[in-house]
């Protein structure tokens, strides 16, 4: 399987069976689809975070539960993503949104990676035409149990639990979306947006390793990653692999599920 992060030069050198996926999404009301139609990388398809990468939100399951495997496989097939394709996904936020698609594909054994630097890595002219891809054959399967965590795992001392949200949300100083502020007791904050530099490209592997080591991650550690709703948490999981650590587990319900329970919330 390819590295979870590839550069634009790698994309240019591997045009065969390559599918570019635009996964821009926003929490402030802007439309990712509108941004795609305004201009995207040539040949890129649009993958909708809410429609394609998540089941309907519920307080019990969180804001972005994983879709049923058959539903996800069907959406990929409709979008023209096949078993033999390599997907390179991008956004305009350092990959924190596109990471969800990449993690889902890799968890099912499909080659997928984030485009380092996102849409800004491409210096040519953007395209507005929507590519017409025929329906493909995409083999799904159950989400691997060893790549997932649930609420009990997220509170277990058996795991190093990482919170990918921004520090102020982790500390409980603000909570713009979910019912309560704070974080899961025992979790350590590794803000995914700090996995990349000002240019939107990933930090060198040694700096990523140092970030995770500060949060208690060592080789062989069992890691659970969560965020607000199981989306940006995938960025930390990809960054772990990119830095040479073993794959961790995603807690899909994340804070949006936990904060709807009567479990204690930590602050500070």
Residues assigned a catalytic role: 227
Query: How far apart (Å, rounded) are the C-alpha atoms in residues 165 and 18?
Result: 31
231, burial (CB in 10 Å: exposed 0-12, middle 13-18, buried 19+)? buried
Query: How far apart (Å, rounded) are the C-alpha atoms in residues 75 and 158?
Result: 35
Where helices occur in the chain by DSSP H, the ranges are 8-13, 32-38, 49-52, 69-79, 99-107, 151-154, 167-170, 205-214, 233-242, 254-258
Strands 86-90 and 160-163: unpaired
Secondary structure element (H or E) that encloses residue 18, with its range: strand 18-22
Per-residue tokens: 75: 């959406």
Tallying the residues shown for the chain, one arrives at: 268
CA angle 17, 22, 28 (to 5 degrees): 165
């Amino acid at each position: 399987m390819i590295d979870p992060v590839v550069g634009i030069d790698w994309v240019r050198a591997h045009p065969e069976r390559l599918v570019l996926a635009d996964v821009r999404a926003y929490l402030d009301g802007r439309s990712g689809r509108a941004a795609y139609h305004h201009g995207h990388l040539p040949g890129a398809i649009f993958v909708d975070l809410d429609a394609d990468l998540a089941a309907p939100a519920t307080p019990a399951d969180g804001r972005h539960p994983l879709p049923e495997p058959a539903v996800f496989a069907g959406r990929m097939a409709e979008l023209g993503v096949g078993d033999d394709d390599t997907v390179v996904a991008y956004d305009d936020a350092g990959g924190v949104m596109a990471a969800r698609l990449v993690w889902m594909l890799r968890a099912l054994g499909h080659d997928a990676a984030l485009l380092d630097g996102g849409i800004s890595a491409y210096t040519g002219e953007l395209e507005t035409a929507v590519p017409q891809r025929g329906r493909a054959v995409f083999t799904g399967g159950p989400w691997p149990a060893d790549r997932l965590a649930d609420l009990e795992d997220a509170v277990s001392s058996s795991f190093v639990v990482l919170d990918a949200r921004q520090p102020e949300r982790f500390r409980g100083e603000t909570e713009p979306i979910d019912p309560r502020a704070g974080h899961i007791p025992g979790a350590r904050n590794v803000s995914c947006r700090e996995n990349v530099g000002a240019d939107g490209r990933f930090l060198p592997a040694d700096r990523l390793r140092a970030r995770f080591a500060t949060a208690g991650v060592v080789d062989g550690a069992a890691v659970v990653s969560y965020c607000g709703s199981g989306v940006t948490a995938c960025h930390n999981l990809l960054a772990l692999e990119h830095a040479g650590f073993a794959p961790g587990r995603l807690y899909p319900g994340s804070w949006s599920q936990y904060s709807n329970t009567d479990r204690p919330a930590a602050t500070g």
